[in-house]
Amino acid sequence: MRPYEKNPSAIYAQSFATVRSEARLDRFGPGMQALAIRLIHACGMVEVADRLAFSPAAYEAGRDALLGGAPVLCDCEMVGAGIIRRYLPAENEVVVTLNDPRVPGIAAGIGNTRSAAAVELWADRLEGAVVAVGNAPTALFHLLELIDQGAPKPALILGFPVGFVGAAESKAELAERPRGCEFVALRGRRGGSAIASAAVNALAAGLPEEKGD
């Protein structure tokens, strides 16, 4: 057996030292740098730093929203599962509506996917929320459609849908026309639930180098 590191604190320290040495982080302020490092750590790809699009006040808006007790609205269960609850500063509610029994009927009614239909059920929690999309491009597209139609605006949109159909396009729509919302998005096809969860964890607690988590 090859020798391997067993100390959690040492693992984190080495991981984040590697990210800092290999990724181009100089364009980020302190908060966004912590978020970028978390994302890279979650997926193992330092090039993520070069593909992040974000509004100037994105990190502060998300952090302040969580401190104020805002809910985190997630497009799928895996995003919600990856959020470390003990990091959340105000026992923030983590909301996933994808498996709500009303969703299939809503999807049929609006002629869209279940992921898009689940976004319809965010209406009463959307204003000032932190939205984390890590799976379905249709969820992000439909959120933007609802905002165009007058829905309340979240404090921050984390746009990390993944895939070959609509993922790059939905994130480009967010980055190019954010509708007055603060946002972070990973341009291109890459994304995923782990990255979306990591973004929320960064907003909630920064980096875990001294936490041993």
| Catalytic-residue membership of 142 | no
Q: Residue 163: in which H helix or E strand, if any?
A: none
Q: Which residues of 137-175 are buried (b: 16+ CB within 10 A; e: fewer)?
A: bbbbbbbbbbbeeebebbbbbbbbbbeeebbbebbebbb
Q: Is 186 exposed, middle or buried (0-12, 13-18, 19+ CB in 10 A)?
A: buried
Cα separation, 175 vs 129, whole angstroms? 18
The catalytic position among 16, 23, 34, 41 is 41
> Would you please indicate which residues are annotated as catalytic (active-site) residues?
41
